[in-house]
Amino acid sequence: MWRWLKSKLRLPRNAEAEEAAAQARAASYLQDGATPKQWLRTAWAGGEFYEPPPSDAWSQIEALEERYGIRIPEDFRDYLGDVAPNEDFMDDIGVTWWSIKNIKNIPDECPTSPGDINPLIEEESDKYLIFSDFLIWCYAWSICCSEGENRGKIALIGGSPDCFVADDFRQFVALELADSITIHTSHN
């Protein structure tokens, strides 16, 4: 895993070729017609440490929506109910996918700012749910659950600065499974 991280931070000479290949892999995910929960279920199948969601996942989702006064975007809601790990789960590239019980909004998870604040994210921070992080909270990702123009977008939190990295959960999962650098960096 450290070799992977060093390669991402160092940006090898062939970084453009690697990213082009990652984008092509992500595009193939997006064209196959499957859902993020299907992709993740397949990717995590047989994983030694992955535990499927708890039997009360749907009631936990409803409680999460009620606690924060939000309506979770459908593709993310389906992932939470059918695939989200029962206990936090780190995948092969160092992304920890949080269990429903550990998901919080930005103000609850980050009472003090973890990075440079993006005003578009900050103004609705109470409507963003942090659902995963990289290498034990180097930075994290959140989904916008507001009813505004950013609904469903995925934001990198703790980056420099915080920024949007995917238009929706489906695109984020495709990029993550394809090992794209774009979900790890500010590219505004």
Domain ranges, ordered by start, for the chain = 16-183
| Predicted confidence (pLDDT) per residue in 49-72, tens digit | 899 999 999 999 999 999 999 999
CATH H superfamily, domain 16-183: SMI1/KNR4-like (3.40.1580.10)
Lowest-confidence region among 3-17, 22-36, 76-90: 3-17
Closest among 104, 188, 179, 178 to 141, alpha carbons compared: 104
pTM for the whole structure = 0.88
Q: For residues 4 and 177, what is the distance between their CA atoms, to the nearest angstrom? A: 14
H or E stretch including 38? helix 36-44
